[in-house]
């Protein structure tokens, strides 16, 4: 009886929250925007420290949202590692060694590393940035792992912890330092905006790549063998 009442109370609370959220969205969607956001962004783009509007929004005007997103990624990475079935994320038995893949990665890995660096640097004035560069860097790690390249930094220890938390930690330190200095939370000091954004994006690239790569290597391994050609499944 108590369980039934508790489940009913939870269901009613969820329905009430969903209704309240829906009503809020409906009200906001029905109201006209009090300001012209694209025009407001264009007028303040120069003081953002970057030239691309998306980067300006993500790492300056709405950097608080980006900070929370990175925190969620770090939590997801930690959760994925904690649920890994292997004793080490660098277990040699779960690596695939393929001669063709090894030959291809000799060409693709350097190109992908250069592409990741370009996307990171280009994010200030054109499409790119930490998330895109981190995804390419993680894909490079996946290719190297599938090719049998050992990755000692994936073993549980100090390097793995630093890699996962570095981006969020630096981002948070900049935010706290600006608040202690008398400015608003995540308000960059004048004259240091672009430098701090480049530093934050650089460490975020490494952490995003580490989180994505850790989630890949901690995923369950399928031990089933592929059926031979012509055989019934």
Q: Assess if residue 96 is contained within a domain.
A: yes
Give dist(CA 43, CA 117) in Å, integer.
29
Q: Assess if residue 45 is contained within a domain.
A: no
pLDDT of residue 84: 66
- Whether the model clears a pTM of 0.75, i.e. scores above it, the answer is no
Q: What is the mean pLDDT of the chain?
A: 77
Any idea which residue has 């090894």 for tokens? 102
pLDDT digits (tens, 9 = 90+) for 218-230: 765 555 454 444 4
Q: Are 178 and 133 a contacting pair, CB within 8 Å?
A: no
Query: Which of the pair, 71 or 62, is modelled with greater confidence?
Result: 71
Q: Are 61 and 41 a contacting pair, CB within 8 Å?
A: yes
- Residue 135 pLDDT class (50, 70, 90 cuts): very high
- Could you tell me which residues come within 8 angstroms of residue 36 by beta carbon, excluding any fewer than 6 positions away? none
Structure tokens at 145: 């792992």
Give dist(CA 188, CA 18) in Å, integer.
37
Which of 176, 167, 170 shows the shortest CA–CA distance to 130? 167
Q: Assess if residue 205 is contained within a domain.
A: yes
Annotate 49-87 with b (16+ C-beta within 10 A) or e (fewer): bbebeebbbbbbbebeebbeebeebbeebeebbeebeee
Q: Assess if residue 1 is contained within a domain.
A: no
Q: Assess if residue 175 is contained within a domain.
A: yes
pLDDT digits (tens, 9 = 90+) for 80-130: 777 765 555 555 555 566 677 777 878 888 899 999 999 888 877 777 788
| Torsion sign (Cα): 140, 143, 145, 150 | negative
The 3-state secondary structure of the chain, one letter per residue: CHHHHHHHHHHHHHHHHHHHHHHHHHHHHHCCCCCCHHHHHHHHCHHHCCCCHHHHHHHHHCHHHHHHHHHHHHHHHHHHHHCCCCCCCCCHHHCCCCHHHHHHHHHHHHHHHHHHHHHHHHCCCCCCCHHHHHHHHHHHHHHHHHCCCCCHHHCCCHHHHHHHHHHHHHHHHHHHHHHHCCCCCCCCCCCCHHHHHHHHHHHHHHHHHHHHHHHHHCCCCCCCCCCCCCCCC
% of the chain beyond a pLDDT of 70: 78
Q: Assess if residue 102 is contained within a domain.
A: yes
Across 186-205, average pLDDT: 84
Is the per-residue pLDDT at 163 higher than 60? yes
Q: Assess if residue 144 is contained within a domain.
A: yes
pLDDT digits (tens, 9 = 90+) for 47-58: 777 777 887 787
pLDDT of residue 128: 77
Give dist(CA 1, CA 7) in Å, integer.
10
Q: Assess if residue 2 is contained within a domain.
A: no
Q: How many domains does the chain have?
A: 1
Give dist(CA 154, CA 132) in Å, integer.
21
Q: Structural domain of residue 99, as residue ranges?
A: 50-218
């Amino acid at each position: 009886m108590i369980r039934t009442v508790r489940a009913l109370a939870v269901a009613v609370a969820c329905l009430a929250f969903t209704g309240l959220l829906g009503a809020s969205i409906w009200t906001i969607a029905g109201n006209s925007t009090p300001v012209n956001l694209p025009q407001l962004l264009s007028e303040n783009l120069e003081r953002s420290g970057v030239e691309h509007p998306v980067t300006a929004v993500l790492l300056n005007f709405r950097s608080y949202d980006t900070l929370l997103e990175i925190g969620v990624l770090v939590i997801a990475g930690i959760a994925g590692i904690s649920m890994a079935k292997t004793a080490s994320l660098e277990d040699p038995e779960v690596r695939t060694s393929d001669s063709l893949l090894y030959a291809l990665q000799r060409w693709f890995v350097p190109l992908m590393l250069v592409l990741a660096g370009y996307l990171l640097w280009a994010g200030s004035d054109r499409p790119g940035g930490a998330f895109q560069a981190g995804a390419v860097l993680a894909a490079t790690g996946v290719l190297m792992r599938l090719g049998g390249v050992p990755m000692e930094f994936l073993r549980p220890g100090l390097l793995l912890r630093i890699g996962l938390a570095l981006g969020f930690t630096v981002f948070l330190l900049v935010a706290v330092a600006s608040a202690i200095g008398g400015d608003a939370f995540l308000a960059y000091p004048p004259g240091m905006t672009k430098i701090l954004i480049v530093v934050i994006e650089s460490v975020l690239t490494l952490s995003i790549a580490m989180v994505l790569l850790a989630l890949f290597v901690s995923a369950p391994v399928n031990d089933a063998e592929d059926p031979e050609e012509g055989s019934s499944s």
